[in-house]
Amino acid sequence: MDALTLFGIFILLPLVGALLSYFGRKYAPIIALIFVAITGIFLYVWYGNFGSYTVDIGVKLNLTFDITTWFFMLMINTVIFSSLLFAVSADLKNAGGFSTLMLLGFTGANGVLLSRDFLSLYLFWELMSWSVYVLILRTSGEYARRYLLFGVLSAYFIIMGIGIIYYYTGSFLYEDALSGVIPYYAWAWILVFLILGFGVKMAIIPLHVWAPYAYSSEQPFVSFLSGGLSKLGTFGIYMSMYSIAGVGILDSFGTFRGVSLLGYPFALLGAITAFVGTILAIFQDDIRKLLAYSSIGQLGYVMVGLGLGTSLALGGALFHAFNHAFFKSLLFLGAGAVIYRTGKYKISEMGGLGYRMPFTFLFVLFAIFGLAGIPLTSGFISKWMLYEAAIEKKFVIIAPLMLIASVGAFLYSYRILYGIFLGGLKEEHKKVKEAPAPMLAAMFILMLPLLIFSIVPGWILGWINDVLTNTGLKPIDYTQFTYYSSIGGANMATFWIAFMVLFFVAVAIFIMKRARVVNQYDNYFAGEAPSSVALHAAHNYYKPLKDTWAPMLKYSVDRAYEKFSKFFVDGFYEIKKIYTGNPQDYAAYLGIAFLIFLIIGWWLL
């Protein structure tokens, strides 16, 4: 493998695919799928075939293919593959444009992951950023506008970070940043800018307000955005904190119970994000918004891990990011399948679809288990690692916040489960069919890793350990079924055996009791026969809880931003008055400018 091959396969090939698939009309997602599959194959073939290369397109792009890149690429590749597979049968309007933009986003993601210099990082970051913008634009210009403002904010934070590094080193390479020329107070600025910049993509509070809007676009794309592209934020923060800066510099700011003072506030922010995201998710009736807030919350967990910075925390963060990529994409695709079949977004308008769409139900159920961190799923392990990382350091704010958020995750998961798949079927949904085969296949692909890694977490922990050692951190202590920490760890083998025993006991009881199978429309009757619409109780779900939280819910970051921007726009109108439209004023400006220039010129002399 040489520079051009690497560049060709991971960057040029998707770009060519993007160009070709635009003209693919109905078959565009399939064309895109083929191109993604090719990169996927190379990703598989080239595992272990790592190296660093430079590509010259006028500016030098420093691309490195290593285990970190590979690990993140694996997620993104799988997620985009299933998203495109889903899109094949989703009847999108202008599917050509959709596939093109997806592949552009994919190219950007690959580039961000491969780049080891700031120029190419920024280049591909922005490429990814605007292709997402145009994808959202397909649904709504207003959502896209909100996204773009934050996308650009993120890019400019990153630019500030990069710029400060460039001021000291005069080079764009990551490795030059560590040459010791950057004083530690500058590192504080650099890291804060970079973390905030990448944090926008992870939707860290208070930079999350774009997410609920962006995640309300077309489901196959949102599944890629939430599952795949948001992981670039994780990657960026991981790289900037532990690879570009490194633990030594982080610890030079002082430590709090062994955690860097720079990392701790971000861990706290992550915990708050997890908490707030989850609380807000509970009260959403729109399935897309619910999943969006859930996504915000879950990435808050990842942020906690990245902020804490111990091997256990980072391992947990990477593992959780990995899990999130799969279960959240799966959920979005599941929601997409339901929306595709019913045309409804509101949870309260659905219900009882479990019998109509059994496979979708099964897959979504599995994703929900992972999301809620129910034991037996890989989501449990990663969350458990993060809890332990927080508890180990005795962080009495972070750990409880995360635990509460986990309970909250349970609540909104149940809302999805009950509101969509259980309960009474609505009259108008009686003809609803199971989702088309490509959609099911897409969901199945995403379910597989969740299943496998919940039984054998050791495989993925092996990769995570490689990533950690590659970054220069201590590896985690693990075996095929177990990981160990100073306060316990978790053994999945025991869990599975216990589960299997309990499962068979339950099955035995079920068979022995001879439970009566009732018709779906037969439940809840109490002498009266109301219509099936009234039977479904997903309307105003969690109302008591919502009433409890009402005093808190009236504060909205969204509105704060609107006020903030209105203040500035009023200022713009004031400034506008300078351009009076009268040429005499303008001539006077010219004269005044001449005098001012002269005075300054003389002064400078």
For the beta carbon of residue 362, count every other beta carbon within 10 angstroms.
Answer: 17
Stretch that binds another protein, among 157-165, 271-279, 448-456, 517-525 (CB under 8 A): 157-165
For residue 216, the minimal CB distance to another protein (Å) is: 15
Residue 47 CA to chain centroid, in angstroms? 24
Per CB under 8 A, 185 contacts another protein:
no
**Interaction of residue 4 with another protein, rule CB under 8 A:** no
Indicate whether 569 belongs to the interface with another protein (CB under 8 A). Answer: yes
- Interacting span for another protein (CB under 8 A) from 386-394, 422-430, 515-523, 579-587: 579-587
Residue placing its CB nearer to another protein in the complex, 531 or 584: 584
What are the respective helix, strand and coil percentages of the chain, to the nearest 5? 70, 5, 25
Residue 568 identity (one-letter amino acid): F
- Choose between 135 and 538: whose C-beta lies nearer to another protein: 135
Of 213 and 418, nearer to another protein (C-beta) is 213
Closest approach of Cβ 147 to another protein, in Å?
9
Nearer to another protein, 44 or 586 (CB): 586
Residue for token pair 């779900």: 541
Q: What is the largest CA-CA distance in the chain?
A: 101
User: Strands (DSSP E) along 182-285, which ranges?
Assistant: 255-256, 259-260
User: Tokens standing for 426?
Assistant: 């609505």
Cα 590 to Cα 205, 587, 604, distances in angstroms: 47, 5, 21
Q: Are 216 and 286 in contact (CB under 8 A)?
A: yes
Q: Pick from 132, 159, 330, 391: which binds another protein (CB under 8 A)?
A: 159
Residue 95 makes CB contacts below 8 A (sequence gap 6+) with 24, 25, 26, 28, 29, 87
CA distance 364 to 318: 22
Q: How far apart are the C-alpha atoms of 472 and 247, rounded to whole Å? A: 9
Residue 117 in contact with another protein, rule: CB under 8 A = no
Which residues have C-beta within 8 Å of that of residue 112, sequence separation ≥ 6?
121, 124, 125, 128, 232, 235, 236
Q: Is 163 in the site for another protein (CB under 8 A)?
A: yes
Q: How far is the CB of 105 from another protein (least distance, A)?
A: 13
Q: Which of 152, 188, 362, 545 binds another protein (CB under 8 A)?
A: 152
Query: Is residue 130 a contact point for another protein (CB under 8 A)?
Result: yes
Sequence-distant (≥ 6) Cβ neighbours of residue 12 within 8 angstroms: none
Site membership for another protein, residue 591 (CB under 8 A)? yes
**Ramachandran bin of 217, using left for φ above 0, alpha for ψ from -120 to 50, beta for the remaining angles:** beta
Our CA dihedral for 221, 226, 232, 236, rounded to 10 degrees, sits at 150
**Which residue's CB is nearer to another protein, number 427 or number 585?**
585
Given candidates 552, 554, 567, 573, which one binds another protein under the rule CB under 8 A?
Answer: 573
Q: Is 149 in the site for another protein (CB under 8 A)?
A: yes
Taking contact as CB under 8 A, which single stretch among the options 40-48, 64-72, 355-363, 587-595 is the one that binds another protein? 587-595
Tell the burial category of 419 from Cβ atoms under 10 Å away from its Cβ (0-12, 13-18, 19+): buried
> Does the footprint of another protein cover residue 586 (CB under 8 A)?
yes
Interaction of residue 567 with another protein, rule CB under 8 A: no
Return d(Cα 536, Cα 351) in angstroms, integer. 7
Q: Return the residue of 61, 84, 95, 148 that touches another protein, per CB under 8 A.
A: 148
Region of 228-236, 347-355, 431-439, 586-594 interacting with another protein (CB under 8 A):
586-594
Candidates 4, 26, 91, 141; binder of another protein (CB under 8 A) is 141
Tally the C-alpha atoms within 13 A of residue 279's C-alpha that lie toward its C-beta.
Answer: 20
Among positive and negative, which fits the CA dihedral 139, 288, 319, 161?
positive
Residue 593 in contact with another protein, rule: CB under 8 A: yes
CA separation for the pair 33, 406 (Å, rounded): 35
Of 315, 158, 169, which Cα lies nearest the Cα of 237?
158
Q: What is the per-residue binding string for another protein in 34-73, x denoting contact by CB under 8 A?
A: ----------------------xxxx--------------
Tokens representing residue 128 in the block:
């990814």
Closer residue to another protein, CB minimum distance, 511 or 569: 569
Q: Minimum distance between the CB of residue 186 and another protein, rounded to whole angstroms?
A: 10
Q: Least separation, in Å, of the C-beta of 108 and another protein?
A: 9
Q: Which of 89, 129, 378, 382 is in the footprint of another protein by CB under 8 A?
A: 129
Query: Which of these ranges, 150-158, 234-242, 389-397, 509-517, lies near another protein under the rule CB under 8 A?
Result: 150-158
Question: Which parts of 69-98 interact with another protein (CB under 8 A)?
Answer: 97
Number of residues near another protein (by CB under 8 A)? 63
Q: Is 451 in the site for another protein (CB under 8 A)?
A: no
Give 590: exposed, middle or buried? Use CB within 10 Å, 0-12, 13-18, 19+.
exposed
* Member of 167, 499, 503, 504 binding another protein (CB under 8 A): 167
Considering the rule CB under 8 A, would residue 145 count as an interface residue with another protein?
yes
**Distance spanning both ends of the chain, measured CA to CA:** 59
Does residue 206 have a cis bond before it (omega within 30 degrees)? yes
Stretch that binds another protein, among 82-90, 126-134, 362-370, 376-384 (CB under 8 A): 126-134
Closer residue to another protein, CB minimum distance, 110 or 532:
110
**For the window 512-551, what string marks contact with another protein as x by the rule CB under 8 A?**
----------------------------------------
Establish if 582 lies at the interface with another protein (CB under 8 A).
yes
The 3-class secondary structure across 65-98, one letter per residue, is: ECHHHHHHHHHHHHHHHHHHHHHHCCCCCCHHHH
Contact yes or no for 119/52 (Cβ under 8 A): no
Question: Among 36, 80, 162, 241, which residue sits at the site for another protein (rule: CB under 8 A)?
Answer: 162
Inter-residue contact 6 to 53 (CB < 8 Å): yes
Binding region for another protein (CB under 8 A): 56-59, 97, 119, 122-124, 126-127, 129-130, 133-134, 137, 141-142, 144-145, 148-149, 152-153, 156, 159-160, 162-164, 166-167, 170, 568-569, 571-573, 575-576, 578-579, 581-594, 597-598, 600-602, 604-605
